[in-house]
Amino acid sequence: MAKILLLGSGELGKEFVIAAQRIGQTVIAVDSYANAPAMHVADSSEVINMLDGDALDAIVEKHNPDYIVPEIEAIRTERFYEYEKQGYNVVPSARAANYTMNRKAIRDLAAVELGLKTAPYSYATSEEELQKAVENIGMPCVVKPLMSSSGKGQSTIRSAEDINYAWNYSQEGSRGDVAEVIVEGFINFNYEITLLTVTQNNGPTLFCPPIGHRQEGGDYRESWQPALMADADLAAAQAMADKVTEALGGAGIWGVEFFIADEGVYFSELSPRPHDTGMVTLANTQNFNEFELHLRAILGLPIPEITQERIGASSVILANGHSDSPSFSGIEEMASATKSDFRLFGKPTSRPNRRMGVVVTYDNLSGSIEDVVNRAIDLSSKVDVKL
């Protein structure tokens, strides 16, 4: 039985803990607030500021875990290098956690060191530098904090009047003490995908069927599996994902995001953990969902294959305001639908556009992707978060 220290205890962490509990592992769930979703199902929990390196060190020393598994970006990841020197197993690796939680590090690795096709980009550490970067990149362009998640602080600049807002918004959404932003040229892509990629210490790298998704404000709203795409584009995405995950090292699941355009496949971003768009796998679209795959890869359990069992879709349930005691209406109507399921995450508070739950729908392999997506959207719309 392994002891796992889970750093970040949101909805993705909760499903990971459930997967771990099913095969007898011990999990300590850590987050910056009490009663976070994963804490409901973990063996024990801790509340600390994970951007406080001393507090993080103390928790690691206290629990002496077999595995340190980060689930969020807001962590003093530079401490992970020292943990590895001390003999701790950081998932997937200290290098991976540090590179992927900083958009500058991962973009330079992908574009400069590995030669992957990406959007044109530049960096800025002030509003004046942002203005110069926009002039060089051209408009429209996208501005993102180097350290953020779920679209926080991300905006699109379409005119010079947008620059001041984009800079201020990026600073509001930035995590940690990094003020720098990345400015990306706008790609006229046809669609975007997440390619869940599983690396193993004692086995080949495996790929889940591609997941299509729609974003709004930088955050996902719906996802579906499989995304229908040309074989050549899928092969190109798999080759890029294999290259970048090998460079970062370690075992686990990675959410590798790509833009698919007329001129080919562009690498976008990378997360070294289960991906929010991958919640579609909770519809049992695969023989193992993404959380089970992550756990098995971490523990070194063999994963002989990943197979598509049926098609599926997911649609998020969002809050539209602030509440210290949110509740839900419309659950009965949603639950009466066939070929569907849902998760309510159990977050203790709500705020505008916070994910509070997800609906998943499915059909057999000969079914219609469009139908399962529309059904997921319709069912999620029936649920209201009561404030």
Binning pLDDT at 50, 70 and 90, where does residue 1 land?
A: confident
pLDDT digits (tens, 9 = 90+) for 218-262: 789 999 999 999 999 999 999 999 999 999 999 999 999 999 999
Q: Is 31 a catalytic residue?
A: no
Please tell me the distance from the alpha carbon of residue 33 to that of residue 119, in angstroms, as a whole number: 36
Q: Catalytic pick from 73, 184, 276, 290?
A: 276
Which residue segments constitute the domains of the chain, with CATH numbers given?
3-90 (3.40.50.20), 120-185 (3.30.1490.20), 189-386 (3.30.470.20)
Q: Is 177 a catalytic residue?
A: no
Taking phi over 0 as left and psi of -120 to 50 as alpha, with beta for the rest, 8 belongs to left
- Calculate the average pLDDT of the chain: 94
Per DSSP bridges, beta strands 181-185 and 155-157 are unpaired
pLDDT digits (tens, 9 = 90+) for 283-294: 999 999 999 999
pLDDT digits (tens, 9 = 90+) for 20-43: 999 999 999 999 999 999 999 999
Q: Catalytic pick from 9, 93, 118, 149?
A: 149
The DSSP line for 135-169 is HHH-SSEEEEESS--TTTT-EEE-SGGGHHHHHHH
Please tell me the distance from the alpha carbon of residue 201 to that of residue 252, in angstroms, as a whole number: 9
Model pLDDT, residue 219:
86
pLDDT at 45 over 90: yes
Q: Is 61 a catalytic residue?
A: no
Identify whether the C-beta of residue 85 lies closer than 8 Å to the C-beta of residue 20.
Answer: no
Identify whether the C-beta of residue 53 lies closer than 8 Å to the C-beta of residue 75.
Answer: no
pLDDT at 147 over 90: no
Average pLDDT of the residues in 251-274: 96
Q: Is 277 a catalytic residue?
A: yes
Model pLDDT, residue 271:
93
Q: How many other C-beta atoms are found inside a 10 Å radius of the C-beta of residue 271?
A: 24
Average pLDDT of the residues in 254-282: 96
Q: Is 151 a catalytic residue?
A: yes
SS3 263: coil
Model pLDDT, residue 177:
62
What is the edge-to-edge ordering of all strands in the sheet holding 44-47?
A: 44-47, 26-31, 3-7, 67-70, 89-90
Q: Is 355 a catalytic residue?
A: yes
Model pLDDT, residue 205:
98
pLDDT digits (tens, 9 = 90+) for 53-107: 999 999 999 999 999 999 988 899 999 999 999 999 999 999 999 998 888 888 9
| pTM for the predicted model, two decimal places | 0.93
Q: Is 242 a catalytic residue?
A: no
Residue of 67, 85, 81 whose CA lies nearest to 30? 67
Binning pLDDT at 50, 70 and 90, where does residue 179 land?
A: confident
